[in-house]
Structure 1
């Protein structure tokens, strides 16, 4: 029985090593304890691009209703990009049609001390984008929850395409677009909007769980 304890210790060590390897943080930008998993690499590339392009105006559709508690599950983008905005004299507009989601996100914005850098809007995202009068440096599309229902999938894809078309006239040669939940059945949220953008002079910079796009002639 002398071999039992070494085996158990190796098993425990292996478990924690596995957890560490899977853990993908944005440290030092965000505390190490927050695990962004499948969104970490695209978030990191976005933050780098925001620095390089001197971005000032950010729009997010579909707010982070779980705040940083949802870092691993939904990305907590409102807080991530809100933190960047706070450090760089930029501003985030996050829009959602759900009153409950808006209230939860606003609570986290206050808790994180981001009220001067983030505004949560309760509105239909397409109507909000159609009436937005400023040039947009970074557009993050993550509204209309996806599911395994084919009808819901098509509605979500169509909605994201309509969102992009609604704000397209306010995008410029250095604008950055990130679309969430793309590595899902039937092409995910970005299927239709990516097809449209590729025909309109955009290129894919990264294609993972999220898809990151910039203008074809943009020098990175």
Structure 2
């Protein structure tokens, strides 16, 4: 009897430990295989793609490509692959722009592995210059360029200013139902989105989700 009690307690402890691990595993299944953990970005990815489908969006533009493909979903979110998978299922298209040849090379390897070249296009360019010359209407804009720093205030400032300039450059390509997602916001100094979010809030934009990522839409697009 004592042995059975001990075995039962061990099983219970194992179930509790497994439950805690699973609670920290933020999967995007069935869009992505269950093994990939998207951590702090999972919930905003889900909400963003739900809104995109609801608004019948098709064109996704991303600044700052997923340089590691699916190798670091917990750390960087692998958005290029995530958006590519969604576009492949919904007849959409993804354009990802990055100034780094090495980053694009890594992203391309990920696209090759996932057979996403038919829906994802990579562009080598400064994102601001690219957006200034872009001539299509954008349904989802994902701002994730100019690597942020946790400690260097000068890099923080430059990253924040860069994201504001991206928005200003692309504002002409946005429409009433455009969705904007900004990465790396819940960080020291306000993260990548601090300045651009402040700017957008003075216009017709509102925050839908304020977490590690900030999700925004036009106030006029919200139904009463």
Query: Residue 182 of structure 2 aligns with which residue?
Result: 179
Query: Residue 146 of structure 1 aligns with which residue?
Result: 148
Q: How does 1:87-166 map to 2 (within 5 A)?
A: 87-147=89-149, 148-166=151-169
Q: Give SS of 1:68's match.
A: coil
Q: How does 1:1-220 map to 2 (within 5 A)?
A: 12-147=14-149, 148-219=151-222
- Separation of aligned partners in 2, 1:130 and 1:7: 63
Q: Give SS of 1:66's match.
A: coil
**C-alpha displacement at 1:70, in angstroms?**
1.5
- Separation of aligned partners in 2, 1:107 and 1:60: 17
- The TM-score, its normalising length taken from structure 2, stands at 0.93
Q: Deviations over 1:117-165 (max 9, x none)?
A: 0011111111111111101111000011111101110000000000111
Q: Give SS of 2:109's match.
A: helix
Q: Give SS of 2:52's match.
A: helix
**C-alpha displacement at 1:14, in angstroms?**
3.6
**C-alpha displacement at 1:15, in angstroms?**
3.1
In structure 2, list runs of 5 or more residues that go unmatched. none
Q: Deviations over 1:166-213 (max 9, x none)?
A: 101110000000000000011100000000001111000000100000
**C-alpha displacement at 1:102, in angstroms?**
0.2
Q: Give SS of 2:200's match.
A: helix
> Root-mean-square deviation (CA), in Å?
1.7
- Separation of aligned partners in 2, 1:89 and 1:37: 27
Q: Give SS of 1:69's match.
A: coil
Distance 1:12 1:197, change over 3 A: same
> Which stretches of structure 1, 4 residues or more, deviate above 6 A after TM superposition?
2-8
